[in-house]
Amino acid sequence: MIAIVKAAELFTRREEEAVSPKQERAVQEILSRVKREGDTAVRELTARLDGVELAQFQVKESEIDAAVATISPGAKEALALAARRIRSYHERQKSNSWIEAEEDGTVLGQLVRPLARVGLYVPGGRAAYPSTVLMTAIPASVAGTEEVVMVTPPGPDGEVPAITLAAAREAGVTRVFKMGGAQAVAALAYGTESIPQVDKIVGPGNIYVALAKRMVYGQVDIDAIAGPSEIVVIADENADPVYIAADLLSQAEHDPMASAVLLTPSASLAEGVTNELQRQCEALPRAEIAAASLLNHGALCITRDLAEAIELANRLAPEHLELMVEDPWLWVGQIKNAGALFLGPWSPEAVGDYLAGPNHVLPTNGTARFFSALSVDDFSKKTSLISYSQRALLRDGPGVITLAEAEGLQGHAASIRARIEKEE
């Protein structure tokens, strides 16, 4: 069910879901209809695509109250714990505005301010993703964003799952709208009668959502388009095959395109993990998905030593990287590329997916080489501040003139000269 491969075979990049011209045209059409017709278009598209007739999109506060009341105490507690830990981690990410005041009267600085209004896309339909709500809404709320608007497709009954609404309440979402697909992205990007235009849209979705986000980019900001998800586990001979197999399966059960890879210098560990994968996979409700993922995108690779395992992991630049080795902190400095790093046997990926604190929206498919987890920064913008004094301008002006003239921009030079000449 999983292949033992050589190092070189690890580097076949998974192709992203192919987009057909027909899908592109369909999304383009939805975007322009919603831009032109607003709510009317969203209402018709929701009836046609989600099979639900909605009189109004916004979920009322009283509906959220009612939903929260149906949640079990255990679930309520788990949401609160997760929200608390996620909030506490993201509070550490906040940047302050700063200034530097120089003796000559010059003041330079950087203002850091929250985006005013953001839109969260939370997948729905038949499943509920409360963790996506927490992981996208809390960084926005910590950044200070005043309006955090959430859209999620209604289920066949026209409702949003109670636990999704409870998560929205817990995370400080300001308004929830029942809409999904490209039409929801369009509504957030352009605004309609009932939904306000936002500055940024974040959150995962299907191919139509991803296409729509890509097309409205520039009109609003978006987060990185998520590709198939992956885990790499680096383990030494003393690691527990039971834990490793369980963690690989927790990745593989997401999606047949997900990838789970073990890198270890120990052939006997690899064998133990293979056996455990077989045993544990059978017990999973999503065994079929997990097995397809392991078969097509899973791999066990026996490395010369741990150093080679680290080197391979750096080249793979995985979304999740577990270090199941003795003294994992010894190796942290050698890990160059990973979205999130899990150290030791008590840090399974699942704890990071739900409630350790760090964000679970992570760079996928090798992009950890240059992308990072969703963070408070993603909901902040910066403005540079320049307040020159007369003295400083007279001193630095000649340098500006020299450089502007070197670039053939005499108007730039003239704007400095106008000030210098006036003073002479």
Q: Which of the residues are catalytic? A: 319-320
Count Cβ neighbours within 10 Å for each residue of 141-167 and write b for 16 or more, e otherwise.
Answer: bbbebebbbbbbbbbeeebbbbbbbbb
> Given the complex with a copy of itself, which of 6 and 422 has the nearer CB atom?
422
* Minimum distance of a copy of itself from residue 149's CB (angstroms): 14
56 marked as binding residue: no
Residue 12, classed as helix, strand or coil, is coil
Residue 104, SS3 per DSSP: coil
CB of 53: closest distance to a copy of itself in angstroms?
27
Is 243 annotated as contributing to ligand binding? no
Nearer to a copy of itself, 60 or 113 (CB): 113
Residue 412 marked as a ligand binder? yes
Give me the torsion for CA of 128, 130, 136, 142, rounded to 10°.
Answer: 160
Kindly tell me which of 46 and 259 has the beta carbon lying closer to a copy of itself: 259
334 annotated to a ligand binding site: no
Quick one: CA dihedral 276, 336, 341, 328, positive or negative? positive
- Angle in degrees, CA 89, 206, 261, rounded to 5: 65
229 carries a ligand binding annotation: yes
Nearest in space to 191 (alpha carbons), one of 380, 50, 31:
31
Distance in Å, CB of 234 to a copy of itself, minimum: 14
Nearest to 29 by CA among 196, 154, 178, 182: 182
Q: Is 90 annotated as a binding residue?
A: no
**Minimum separation from the CB atom of position 15 to a copy of itself (A):** 12
CB of 185 to a copy of itself, least distance (A): 15
For the four alpha carbons of 195, 200, 202 and 205, in that order, the dihedral sign comes to positive
Residue whose CB is less far from a copy of itself, 34 or 45: 34
Q: Is 411 exposed, middle or buried (0-12, 13-18, 19+ CB in 10 A)?
A: exposed
Q: Please, which residue, 45 or 310, has the CB nearer to a copy of itself?
A: 310
Which residues sit in the known binding site for Zn(2+)?
251, 254, 353, 412
Which residues are known binding-site members for NAD(+)?
A: 121, 183, 206
Which residues contribute to the annotated binding site? Answer: 121, 183, 206, 229, 251, 254, 320, 353, 407, 412
